[in-house]
């Protein structure tokens, strides 16, 4: 029985490039950006996924240079946190819809953040991962609650009910990501403790 085909770095990079092209296709981009929650909850992660796929094609020398700059994944995760914090500002969403240059910078920043996340996550380890999520996820939930509670539109391009819907999505997403990471931590700890609990076969 043969193993299934592997998704090679070149294949992953090709998929990432194809995803970037598809997301830049005007009808799809306009459809995603027509709704505030689709803009942030769908377009943002898809662009980051494209960046993560593109990062697979980095040659070993480039990966080594990144690793020296990105010890324990800290610099990369800080970059991700800064990009997400800036792009959650309502004014930035408005500007991205009106200005093609800012739209392009937004897309490039999200692709870069996705690549940084992929190159940093394993190197970070559980402690740095927990610190990163302990900052980003509460920030996401707080922003979501602000969108829900705000009596006025924070983004001129979107209606108030769309704004509240985004807030609900952001809170739900923060909770789901926190639970997923805690499940991962539990699985890793169980694997580490497994050999210690196994009976001595000697």
Helices and strands in the chain, H and E counts: 9, 0
- The pLDDT value recorded for residue 189 is 84
Q: Which residues of 44-72 are buried (b: 16+ CB within 10 A; e: fewer)?
A: bebbbbbbbbbbbbbeeeeeeebeeebee
Q: What are phi and psi of 92, to 5 degrees?
A: -65, -40
Model confidence pLDDT, tens digit, residues 29-46: 999 999 999 999 999 999
The yes-or-no verdict on residue 141 having pLDDT over 90 is yes
Q: Residues 91-111: what's their mean pLDDT?
A: 93
Alpha-carbon radius of gyration of the chain = 19
- The pLDDT value recorded for residue 4 is 44
pLDDT band at 200 (very low <50, low <70, confident <90, very high): low
Among the residues of 8-89, which ranges form H helices? 9-24, 26-33, 36-37, 44-55, 60-69, 74-87
- The pLDDT value recorded for residue 2 is 44
Q: Residues 56-67: what's their mean pLDDT?
A: 87
């Amino acid at each position: 029985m043969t193993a299934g085909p592997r998704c090679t770095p070149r294949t992953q990079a090709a998929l990432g490039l194809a995803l970037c092209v598809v997301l830049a296709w005007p009808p799809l981009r306009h459809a995603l950006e027509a709704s505030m929650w689709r803009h942030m909850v769908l377009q943002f992660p898809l662009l980051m996924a494209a960046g993560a796929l593109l990062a697979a094609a980095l040659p070993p020398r480039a990966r080594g240079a990144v690793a020296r700059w990105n010890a324990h994944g800290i610099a990369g995760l800080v970059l991700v946190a800064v990009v997400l914090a800036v792009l959650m500002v309502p004014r930035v969403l408005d500007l991205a819809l009106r200005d093609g240059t800012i739209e392009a910078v937004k897309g490039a920043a999200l692709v870069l953040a996705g690549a940084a996340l992929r190159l940093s996550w394993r190197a970070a380890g559980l402690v740095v991962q927990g610190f990163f999520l302990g900052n980003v996820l509460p920030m996401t939930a707080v922003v979501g609650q602000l969108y829900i509670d705000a009596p006025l539109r924070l983004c001129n391009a979107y209606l108030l009910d769309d704004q509240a819907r985004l807030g609900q999505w952001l809170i739900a997403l923060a909770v789901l990501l926190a639970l997923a990471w805690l499940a991962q931590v539990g699985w890793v700890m169980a694997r580490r403790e497994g050999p210690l609990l196994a009976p001595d076969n000697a």
